[in-house]
Structure 1
């Protein structure tokens, strides 16, 4: 009985050992299969990622090549445009040089014509002077005074007149084009501006309806504001009405005289050894002298009180010298004039 139990236990233990080994073997195979499967998935994922990366690189390279191609084409267009511009500039410079050469040739031709004509006239005068005048008798008085070898007067041809006109045009074209100054409302500057505008703009045959635009261009400050309402008008008399306003407000002789008086009153005193200030005062006195000769309202500048105001602007040592001269003039019953003060200042500069 004991042998049977022992055998049964032995068989049971052997069966249990064998089943455990079979389970372990199956578990090991499953683990190996799972590891292999995970490695395959990782390899497939990495392969897919590399393919995506490769495709991205390919697209990026194509875009870069297209961008480089566009940049190259743009650079070539710029180079072609710069080359064309350089060629046009060279042609323009060549045309300018050619035009200048033609102008110089015309001047040279005109100069040669003038030289040859003056030389021929001098030679004819010499030959005429070397001849002896024949003695005329009473019978010769009835004959016409004609000589067979006398030169016939020929007027200048059209070409010669054209060359002279071209030479004058070339000379005048080299002169700077004069322009009137911009008047801003200083009454002391109005006479000069009015004369300049009339001679340089109005007298050039500019239509009346266009003169208002030139007037607007050469006005500024209070003067422009005074007539700004006329710039919006389209009537032909807008220009003349604007000029009348400027004449009344800034060109009135009384207004100009008051401007001179105010500037003299505000003139600073000239200090000792200030030659520049003394020269500026003498220049303004010359302007006052010219204005006094033109307008009746400027006669106040010759008044003794105004002359005393002017001399008060001089340095102290010049005031003493001037007072001595005035005292001598009073004894001689001479009235000092504005021109005398200016000469007195000029001698001390």
Structure 2
């Protein structure tokens, strides 16, 4: 019985123990899933620890800065390889201590901009010194004091290194706090400046909107004035036409009256002296009457001349823009002609879209797919935005010019027409320079060398002589404008219709022509 009671007690104790373990595990699960918010004292403690670590970081940074200055001074002298290696190890160890402590501070507190600047300067200066140290190890046997000093002196030219080598005074903790406050003040000032700039932009936008509204109202008034002027001109035209008809009728009446008066005079003279012919007096009778119709006759002549000029202008062929097929080089010229001949006309957006579809072809027409299902102002503006983004950006245009220059084949020695074609395209590039941003790179000597490689040997030799002469006098390489002027002159000489080689070789034998070409190009 006692044994059975003991076994029963043991089983009960085991069950109680298991229940307690399960309860503790459930309590741990509930506690682990709960979000822990630090108390105010904990936050204050963390901030205090972060400040202590920051002071420690400043101290380590000052130690590293001292090591960097000593390392720079040691690299000026002739030291052994072991000393250089020890210098590298100590400097990198100091840098590692600074960066590791900085990472700890960064995990609990957002560092200031001054602190980040110091860490960046620490890494950059360490990298520069270590690089020079390895260069010293590589050239240890060939030690040159002046070269080493010059190389070390270059470290002072870095902007980030001025704070390392410029002062030996170690900043205190108060300086660190002041730097933090200064950084916050700088951020606040930057935010204020941004807000002020935004406010100024809003004011400018309001002013611009008012200007646009005034311009629109002025345009409406001008349009109404022009319409009234057109109506006045129409009325004046009708008045002049009516006046011209009245003048014609008056002349007919005056002619009839003069004929009637002449008939009466003739009859009277025949009754007195029938043998004498009729004198010229009756014929001169209309001329004795005042002629108030001269101004109307002038108006009639003016109208006749205006009608004649209008008919002559209508007989001329109507100007129209070319078809743009997707060449960025031709985009600016085509856009200007389209704007002048079609876009500025007083027609609807649907008509403008119709003309745009008519004068765009090739790959450029695929850019406008889907636009022509609409016929409103938004569709017309959208079409031009697509064309400007695809072909009108300065970078795309200057890239097209440069690709065409790069792919231009080399000109043969006797190809005068090819030489003139290349010169004309170079002149086109020069004319496009003020309007295409990026083409100024053609003034560079390296780009000029690529262009000279396209020329025949005799032209390259002559340009070399010109370049040498200009560099000797002005101490600078000739500009792209000078090169274009040279090419145009040489093309004119090579294609002269009277005295050029191409004009003379038609009357010579092939051997004489080759000899003349060699003499001419030299």
Secondary structure of the residue aligned to 1:198 is helix
- Alignment check: 8 A CA contact 1:292 1:301 kept: no
Point out the structure with max Rg over C-alpha: 1
Cα pair distance change 1:164/1:338, threshold 3 Å? same
- Alignment partner of 1:246 is 2:246: no
User: What does residue 199 of structure 1 align with?
Assistant: 340
In the TM superposition, residue 267 of structure 1 has moved relative to its aligned partner by: 0.5
Deviates more, 1:290-299 or 1:334-343: 334-343
2-structure distance, mates of 1:315, 1:169: 54
In the TM superposition, residue 155 of structure 1 has moved relative to its aligned partner by: 8.5
2-structure distance, mates of 1:247, 1:181: 17
User: What does residue 296 of structure 1 align with?
Assistant: 437
User: What does residue 270 of structure 1 align with?
Assistant: 411
CA deviations on 1:247-287 (whole Å, 9 max, x unpaired) are 11101111100000100000011110111000100110111
2-structure distance, mates of 1:240, 1:186: 21
- Alignment partner of 1:341 is 2:483: yes
Secondary structure of the residue aligned to 2:434 is helix
User: What does residue 230 of structure 2 align with?
Assistant: none
User: What does residue 398 of structure 2 align with?
Assistant: 257
Deviates more, 1:187-196 or 1:166-175: 166-175
In the TM superposition, residue 336 of structure 1 has moved relative to its aligned partner by: 1.1
2-structure distance, mates of 1:291, 1:226: 25
In the TM superposition, residue 154 of structure 1 has moved relative to its aligned partner by: 5.3
- Alignment check: 8 A CA contact 1:190 1:250 kept: yes
CA deviations on 1:206-241 (whole Å, 9 max, x unpaired) are 211221111111111111100121011233311111
In the TM superposition, residue 303 of structure 1 has moved relative to its aligned partner by: 1.5
- Alignment partner of 1:160 is 2:301: yes
2:472 to 331, 342, 345: 331
Runs of 4+ in 1 over 6 A off after TM superposition: none
User: What does residue 426 of structure 2 align with?
Assistant: 285
- Alignment check: 8 A CA contact 1:260 1:288 kept: yes
1-structure distance, mates of 2:295, 2:476: 66
Secondary structure of the residue aligned to 1:294 is coil
1-structure distance, mates of 2:421, 2:388: 28
**Could you state the TM-score of these two structures normalised by the residue count of structure 2?**
0.36
Count of matched residue pairs: 199
1-structure distance, mates of 2:392, 2:481: 24
Secondary structure of the residue aligned to 2:455 is coil
Cα pair distance change 1:308/1:156, threshold 3 Å? farther
Secondary structure of the residue aligned to 1:228 is coil
Cα pair distance change 1:156/1:284, threshold 3 Å? farther
2-structure distance, mates of 1:168, 1:286: 39
Cα pair distance change 1:275/1:156, threshold 3 Å? farther
2-structure distance, mates of 1:155, 1:190: 52
CA deviations on 1:29-69 (whole Å, 9 max, x unpaired) are xxxxxxxxxxxxxxxxxxxxxxxxxxxxxxxxxxxxxxxxx
CA deviations on 1:59-99 (whole Å, 9 max, x unpaired) are xxxxxxxxxxxxxxxxxxxxxxxxxxxxxxxxxxxxxxxxx
1-structure distance, mates of 2:427, 2:454: 16
Secondary structure of the residue aligned to 1:220 is coil
1:213 to 340, 354, 364: 354
- Alignment check: 8 A CA contact 2:398 2:437 kept: no
Secondary structure of the residue aligned to 1:272 is coil
- Alignment partner of 1:223 is 2:398: no
Uncovered stretches (5+) of structure 1, i.e. residues with no partner: 1-152
Superposition map of 1:1-349 within 5 A: 157-332=298-473, 333-348=475-490, 349=494
2-structure distance, mates of 1:156, 1:197: 43
Uncovered stretches (5+) of structure 2, i.e. residues with no partner: 1-293, 495-522
Secondary structure of the residue aligned to 1:231 is helix
1-structure distance, mates of 2:448, 2:312: 48
Higher relative contact order (CA 8 A, sep 6+): 1
**Could you state the TM-score of these two structures normalised by the residue count of structure 1?**
0.54
2-structure distance, mates of 1:213, 1:341: 44
- Alignment check: 8 A CA contact 1:182 1:218 kept: yes
- Alignment check: 8 A CA contact 1:212 1:239 kept: yes
